[in-house]
Amino acid sequence: MKNLLIPFLLCLLHSVYAQPYFSKNYHVSYNDAGWNVLALEDGILILDVSTCEGPTTCTSLLKTDFEGNLIWEVLLDSLRVANGNNILADSSGIYLAMYKKGIIDPLNVRLLKFDHHGNLVKYKRIGDGLDLELPLSMNWHHGQLLLSLDERFGDTTQTHMAFYTTDFDSVKTIPFVRDLGGTSSKFDIAMNGDLYHIRSINFLDGKTAKVIKTDGDGYIYWQKQFEKSISNFATSLALLPDGGCVTHWNKNATVWSEDTFEIVDYVVKLDADGNELWRHHFYDRNQHIIYHLLATENGDIVGCGQFNYFALPSEPDSSFVGSWIFRLDGNGQLKWIRHFNDTRYESIQLLYSGTELTNLDLAFTGRIGFFGPPEGGNAWLLKIDSMGCITSGCGEYQTIVSAPDIPDSGLLFTLHPNPGTIATEIQLPQPAPGDCQIAVYNLLGRLVEQQTVPEGALTHPLALHGYSSGVYLVVVYERQKVVGRARLVVQR
């Protein structure tokens, strides 16, 4: 009996103290955001991008254990990544493709290798510096590093496929494609070495995306182009075990109503010959934006991104910005969908990338925090089970989590009317002191406008003529210190 009791007590203690699923955030500098997350043998790696001083962007590497405890961090304050697709890892180290913003020097692209303790072990400058040369993506190709390098000549973009050894010795560089306004933001490698590229293209009247399949020498097998849209780029592509691939794009719906938002994101699957097999549309009255797709071990497709919940006239105080995760099976059927948002609806939560861990749990990274200074955002790490749950028995559609370590607002001012169409009025609880300002931020945290409130004023008008429909955050500063925040909904 005693022998049976000991394992039972150990299991009980593990269930009490272990916290396998969590939501944690990490602060390196101002406006931190996790752009990519990788599963390592002994932990989780986050590629963090933040603003150090003024417009200067910093890049950091953060390594945590599987419970989200920070092990080490490395700050690279003079180099940038163009997106989250410029990082790889294997048993020998961590690889980054970066560039230096500013006047373009020869050899503008930098390759860096770190060991798994965060120590820099190799550094090399590559590229020819003919024009603005950017590393747009990096992946493995038969044990070598394959980089997608964009050279921009005015409106024209020339993309190269550059092959390097893990010691950063050049193997070959192949001109891939040259067009107007194109960007190869992501590519993936099949088992036989064939490449699948996702390329976004800007036009004067919209945007489009296409998937291109090539061999290792740049020979194009086929191209699949999608319809024009006015919204975001396709930023992700994933290969499936059956040889096909999935990407995401969007189409214009009719008009926003209580049933469907005007932009509809969808996931599309192509077979190995470029034939479209299915599309899964996310029709909803709220805006859902996909930032990343990944293929799981069993052939499912998991995606993450941002959703913007727009209040109906009957619920003016419920608009907010949150994140969402979904899972489709290999035939495009929805298994589950989860929405995450701060319980106070004051912060933003955006998920930019995800990965499947060896035990089939899921880890995602992004940004969590407030719009604007002084806090900005923190890099966010979210770990959930394979059903999308951070707690057992989570709901099929919505799971609510709180944003940790985010302070409550101080000054309780109001906006009237809210929602607003033409204008709104900021109503302060006490006369404005000297050096009182208001700032308005959009869903991406960008400053829309900033105004000074006259000393002694109890109200201040805010014209909304140049605002698009959506959710904004109004921040009140006194002597450059945040004293209050409120959400503003603009309806057209």
Q: Which two tokens stand for residue 129?
A: 């510096």
The total number of residues written for the chain in this structure: 492
Q: Any idea what DSSP says for residue 9? A: H
Closest CA to 146 of 89, 94, 187: 187
Q: List pLDDT tens digits, range 217-274.
A: 889 999 999 887 766 666 789 999 888 999 998 876 554 455 555 667 899 999 999 9
Q: What is the pLDDT at residue 237?
A: 92
Confidence of residue 163 (pLDDT cuts 50, 70, 90): very high
Q: Is the pLDDT of residue 7 over 50?
A: no
Distance CA 215, CA 142 (A): 13
Distance CA 41, CA 276 (A): 36
Q: What are the structural domains of the chain?
A: 19-384 (2.130.10.10), 414-490 (2.60.40.3080)
Q: Any idea what DSSP says for residue 461? A: E
Backbone angles phi, psi at 13, to 5 degrees: -65, -40
Q: What is the pLDDT at residue 142?
A: 92
Q: What is the pLDDT at residue 54?
A: 56
- Cβ(44)–Cβ(362) under 8 Å? no
Q: Which two tokens stand for residue 4?
A: 């049976």
Q: What is the pLDDT at residue 14?
A: 37
* Reported pTM: 0.79
Q: Any idea what DSSP says for residue 394? A: -
Q: List pLDDT tens digits, range 284-322.
A: 767 788 999 999 999 999 999 988 776 555 555 556 678
Q: Is the pLDDT of residue 345 over 70?
A: no
Distance CA 59, CA 428 (A): 39
Other CB atoms closer than 10 Å to residue 397's CB: what's the count? 10
Q: What is the pLDDT at residue 134?
A: 78
Average pLDDT over residues 345-355: 81
Q: List pLDDT tens digits, range 470-482.
A: 778 788 888 767 6
Q: What is the pLDDT at residue 252?
A: 65
Distance CA 114, CA 93 (A): 6
Which residues on neighbouring strands pair with residue 341, listed in sequence order? none
